[in-house]
Structure 1
Amino acid sequence: MKIKKYLHSCLVFEQDGYKLLFDPGQFSFAEGRVTADMFADTDSIVITHIHPDHFDLDILKSILALNNAKIYTNKQVGEQLQKAGLPFSLIESGKHEIGPFILEAVPVTHEPLLDNPAPQMTAFVINNKVLHPVDTLSDELLAYKGIDVLLMVTMAPFANELKIAAFADKLQPRQVLPVHDGYARDFFIKQRYANYKRHFEKQGILFHEVLAIGEGIDVE
């Protein structure tokens, strides 16, 4: 299984020629560095929650114009898709097979934001190897302690590095792939990655400094 990052929390999981796209939101596409044609061969799309950095209807339509991808999401996002006439499959809890992937959907609570109601949000465990908490740092996910890969929020208005690192320290994954940093400049991202890498190296956790668009990791 390969995981490729396209800025912020826009990710492509690939296995056996099947491509599963997560959260093609505004922050990834804002500067034109990521474009819809990069996902022309996408087979399925998962939307974790309704926030615009994870879900944008126009962006989604531009991708769907290039393929026949199936959409998987929760009820709150689904209501917006339904209004737009876009078909989708509901995926909110339990295990689901999507192509060669097994996704365990876990309902979670978004970290608090200033003057912003909490959206319905779904975290995922992919193939029993990758934990995608999305925008939560909740102890309820410690049930997956020791998982192979953590997709870790690295910057956010709802957290600082101490809180983020503390969550990962408790979870103790073997590897960390950083996400949720699409609003920062490259020089600053590099600096923060170096800081996280030093921190996790002390615990024997591999931190992947994934910087280039479309760069990623292989997960055995």
Structure 2
Amino acid sequence: MDITLLGHACVRLDKNGSRLVIDPGAFSATDALDDATAVLVTHDHVDHVVPDELRAALVGRAELEVWAPEAVVGAVVGDDDAVASRVHTVSPGDHLDVAGFAVDVVGDKHAVIHPDVPQIANVGYLVDGVVLHPGDAFTVPDAAVEVLLVPVAAPWLKTAEAIDYVRAVGARRAVPIHDAILADAGRTLVDGLLGERGPGIGDTQYTRVQPGETISAG
């Protein structure tokens, strides 16, 4: 499996001619949906999905399918019944075959932004038992993980929480995502704390991957 970061929380997974895209939001590369076979969305915040853009992609490509929580499904389908059959609702605990990828749906709620801000639905996706994309949450799956896509900057997140999350998952490799709000100096600081200048993340290797860069796993 090839893993390509496409900006902020968006990643593309390529395997055996299938292309799976996760969370193509407003901060993602503009071509994030190009040639996608399928799309997974973790929750309905705009940095993870732009419903109008995803609907337009569905209209333009009859083979494209989407899996997402109920709120996202409603926003993407809108009044266009023609795409409804290709936009599927997921629930925690689901085990899916998505374009040849085995996907386990984990977690159920967005991390707390503030006690006065209602929590929304958020699911994570463990793909082929290899790559975990948690969305905006700290979900620890009941399975080994090779690559954890770890959020490192958000209104709901402290760096200490990211460190503890990496420790809890215990993946072979942690790759930072969800960092569009950071300047270069902030990325350097976060990378240091999660890497060799920090308190330690066990045996997990922390690897910064640049937008558009591809790594292999599985």
TM-score, with length taken from structure 2? 0.87
For residue 75 of structure 1, the aligned residue among 55, 70, 73 is: 70
State yes or no: 1:150 paired with 2:148. Answer: yes
Matches for 1:97-176 after TM superposition, within 5 Å: 97-114=97-114, 115-138=116-139, 141=140, 143-144=142-143, 146-176=144-174
Per the alignment, residue 38 of structure 2 pairs with 44
Q: Superposition pairs for residues 8-27 of structure 1, below 5 Å? A: 8-27=8-27
Which residue of the other structure, out of 52, 56, 59, is the alignment partner of 1:58?
52
Question: Residue 102 of structure 1 contacts residue 127 of structure 1 at CA under 8 Å; is this kept in 2?
Answer: yes
Q: In the TM superposition, what whole-angstrom CA distance separates every residue of 1:40-90 from its partner, at most 9, and x where no partner exists?
A: 211111111111111112332454465331111121111212324242112
Three-state SS of the structure 1 residue aligned to 2:108 is strand
Q: Which residue of 2 aligns with 1:209?
A: 208
5+ residue gaps, structure 2: none
Query: How far, CA to CA, are the matches of 2:126 and 2:30 in structure 1?
Result: 27
Query: Contact between 1:103 and 1:124, CA under 8 Å: does it hold in 2?
Result: yes
CA contact (8 A) 1:47 1:72 kept: yes
Q: Aligned partners of 2:131 and 2:201: how far apart in 1?
A: 22
Aligned-partner SS, 2:75: helix
The residue matched to 2:194 in structure 1 has which SS? helix
Over aligned residue pairs, what C-alpha RMSD do you find?
2.1
Structure 1 residue runs of 4 or more that deviate by more than 4 Å after TM superposition: none
Q: d(CA) in 1 for partners of 2:168 and 2:40?
A: 27
* Structure 1 gaps, min length 5: 29-33
Question: What secondary structure is seen at the aligned counterpart in 2 of 1:108?
Answer: coil
In structure 1, the residue corresponding to 2:182 is in which secondary structure? coil
Q: Deviations over 1:146-179 (max 9, x none)?
A: 4211111111111211111012112211110111
**Aligned-pair CA distance for 1:102:** 0.1
Q: What is the number of equivalent residue pairs in this alignment?
A: 210
Equivalent position of 2:4 in the other structure = 4
Greater share of helix residues, 1 or 2?
Answer: 1
Instruction: Check 1:8–1:102 CA distance in 2 against 1; reply closer, same or farther (3 A cut).
Output: same
Give the Cα separation in 2 of the matches to 1:200 and 1:214.
29
Partner SS state of residue 44, structure 2: coil
Following the alignment from structure 2 to structure 1, what is the Cα–Cα distance between the partners of residues 203 and 146? 13
User: TM-score, structure 1 length as denominator?
Assistant: 0.86
Deviation of residue 180 (structure 1)? 0.8
Deviation at 1:191, TM superposition (A): 3.4
